[in-house]
Amino acid sequence: MRFRGLLLCVALSAAGITSASATMRISEDRGGQIGQYLQTFATLRSSGESVVVDGDCLSACTLLLGLMPRDRVCATRRARFGFHAAWMPDIDGRPVTSPMGTQALWNIYPLNVRHWINRHGGLSRHMIFMQGRSLSGIIASCDQPTRSVQRLDRRYSVRPVRYVPANAASDRR
């Protein structure tokens, strides 16, 4: 993940895209290790890029909600955030809930996200999904621009960065 973040920065520089004009699009991210997402989103935050969530942002990907400035993130109608307790494989490879990892997630989520999670059963082994109207007030809508989103739109490049999970290829539009 650190390598991907470095490659992203190098690719942006080589393409002549400034941080104020680049946009990362998250469309089908199933999550992964918390530490890798902490690094990726810290790099993204310091780059000045904006983020459009246009599909699934599951598991560790949801850290985006606590790590990126709200005025640089928006969600389309297709956006869906999936939350669950953190886990690690045991010696036999079976998932075991990680109280420390779950607490780390919890500490990063903004208060309004924590309230939503609590109202929907808390962080457990079962995924709970935030989408549609539930996103209202938590993340700006890309589909219905508000004043702050309109300001972001002027910064968007006509060639946004597309972010896809590590197993797939990245491309620019």
Whether 139 is in a domain gets the answer yes
Range of the domain at 26: 2-10+20-172
Give the ranges where the chain is alpha helix by DSSP (H).
Answer: 2-14, 34-47, 64-67, 99-108, 111-119, 147-155
What CATH number is given to the structural domain containing 81? 3.90.226
**Phi, psi (degrees; rounded to nearest 5) at 129:** -115, 135
Whether 15 is in a domain gets the answer no
Structure tokens at 98: 């990680």
Q: How many independent structural domains does the chain possess?
A: 1
Spatial distance between the Cα atoms of 123 and 102, rounded to a whole number of angstroms: 8
Counting as low any pLDDT under 70, the low residues of the chain are 1-21, 144-173
**pLDDT score of 97:** 93
**Phi, psi (degrees; rounded to nearest 5) at 82:** -120, 125
**pLDDT score of 143:** 79
The tens digit of pLDDT for each residue in 57-95 reads: 999 999 999 999 999 999 999 999 999 999 999 999 999
Whether 135 is in a domain gets the answer yes
Angle between helices 99-108 and 34-47 (to 10 degrees): 20
b/e per residue 140-154 (b: at least 16 CB within 10 A): bebeeeeeebeebee
Q: How far is CA 52 from CA 27, 32, 102, 124, 133, in A?
A: 8, 19, 25, 27, 17
Whether 103 is in a domain gets the answer yes
What's the full length of the chain, in residues? 173
**pLDDT score of 14:** 39
**pLDDT score of 34:** 93
